[in-house]
Amino acid sequence: MDVAAITSYITTNGNWGHNGFQAPNTSRYHLRNSRVNFIAHANPENQGEDGQPPTNHWMMILVTVDASPVHIDVIPAGESSPAMLVIEHQELQTIDRAYVVPLGVKERTTVADIHLVIIQKGRDR
């Protein structure tokens, strides 16, 4: 699957939010990653939002070699609905987190490669 196919899939699938990751802004998919940080957010009161039960909120930050991170945030949905994956290209920020797991990546791994794994493994459904 090439970048055009990934972009088409993400922009036509209701389970993805894609701030700045649709055509013609596909150059961000070619950014190379230096590591992936998996982050579990803190929820000290163990509360849900908007009347929903508590959830485990997590996100991934794809740290690129040019230090411009790509966030993949998982937004919980209703109890029987898949979560929405929101991808954004933004500056590093302070995150209220419970735990961070940094992972190295194979050399030359791109943002598109990470998205492709999520899509192929069905983790967006």
User: How many domains does the chain fold into?
Assistant: 1
Nearest 5 degrees, angle CA 42-CA 83-CA 57? 5
Q: Give the mean model confidence (pLDDT) for residues 88-110.
A: 76
User: Considering the entire predicted model, what is its pTM?
Assistant: 0.73
Give the tens place of pLDDT for each residue, 43-90: 777 777 777 777 667 788 888 887 678 888 877 666 666 667 777 766
Answer whether residue 125 is part of any domain. no
- Report the chain's mean pLDDT, rounded to a whole number: 77
Answer whether residue 12 is part of any domain. yes
- Report the pLDDT value the prediction gives residue 93, as an integer from 0 to 100: 56
Answer whether residue 95 is part of any domain. yes
Domain of 81, in residue numbers: 3-120
Residue 54 vs residue 105, higher pLDDT: 105
- Tokens representing 117? 């794994």
